[in-house]
Amino acid sequence: MRPVILVRGLTAAAVVLAASFAAGCAPQPEPSSQAAPSSSAGGAAACPQGKLATETAGKLTVGTDKPAYAPWFKDDKPENGQGYESAVAYAVAEKLGYQKDDVVWQTVAFNNAFAPGEKKFDFDLNQISISDQRKKAVDFSSGYYDVRQTVVALKSSKAAKAKSVADLKDVKLGAQVGTTSLDVIKDVIKPSQQPAVYQKNDFAKAALKNGQVDAIVVDLPTAFYITGAEVQDAAVIGQFENVPGKAEQFGLVLDKGSALTACVTGAVDSLRKDGTLAKLEKQWLADAVDAPVLK
């Protein structure tokens, strides 16, 4: 993403708009490419319901950044169960044997979630893409969302006329630090001028709105929320192709070598298999506008 891509992101205006247009913009359907879990899923004996070795006995501590952006969360309140990632967190908790009241939310900055060092959460979700580099410092569950990076540009900028990756090389681009969105700018677009890098996606959106950059890169659902509810003078220019068999995915982040990794991965796999992830995606990220693919 978030930081939810084009960077993370990474997302309020009218509640109705957020629930329909903005909150509903999933990438083009494609075969899911499951990320390899850090360890094999454990059985019932290894994952006792509601009795895992969590940070606080009997509780499940879940981390995410603040602000918590729509459509991944709603009203900047992860605890309300609304928005795709909030709903996924509670669905995972239920699979692990924890009720809603057992879930404790903790604010964790995007970059800190996957930085080296001991974690104070059981898992974190914040539009964090699974990557081999990040796996050196943390564990990931299997992917809970297949994502595409997207370009958002001011309608009045030269970036708005871009039809290909080459058309973006000479425009001023921006993204959130530490995100795959920034990686796309550097590794795919390879612009002629250094991209602007922002600590949070809110800063990137403000720079776009003020004309300090021509375009920013974020994930597709976030892109449609920005253009539908936050920066009305901006438009989704296009999305980037995923490499076949290597779809970018968001994963739950856990401490390196966490005893919970297998159980959390098993929960995510079960939610995908029983259709829960597809149902939640349809509820919160549906009605996607078909963004052209930039080649």
Q: Residues 47, 256, 123, 69: what is their CA dihedral angle, to the nearest 10 degrees? A: -160
Count the alpha carbons within 13 Å of 153 in the hemisphere toward its beta carbon: 21
CB atoms within 10 A of CB 198: 22
Question: What tens digit of pLDDT does each residue of 183-194 get?
Answer: 999 999 999 999
Asked which of 36-45, 96-105, 114-123 is least confident by mean pLDDT, the reply is 36-45
Return the pLDDT at 232. Answer: 87
Helix axis angle for 84-95 and 261-273, nearest 10°, is 110
Question: What tens digit of pLDDT does each residue of 231-285 get?
Answer: 989 999 999 987 666 679 999 999 999 999 999 999 999 999 999 999 999 999 9
| Residue whose token pair is 């920066």 | 231
Tell how strand 149-154 and strand 234-240 pair up. Answer: antiparallel
* Per-residue exposure over 223-251, b if at least 16 CB sit within 10 Å of its own CB, e if not: bbbbbbbbbeebbbbbbbebeeeebbbbb
Alpha-carbon dihedral sign for residues 175, 181, 182, 185: negative
Give the model's confidence band at 287: pLDDT under 50 very low, under 70 low, under 90 confident, else very high: low
Q: Give me the helices (H) in the chain, please.
A: 15-17, 84-95, 110-113, 132-135, 180-184, 201-209, 220-225, 261-273, 276-285
The answer to whether the predicted template modeling score (pTM) of the entire model surpasses 0.85 is no
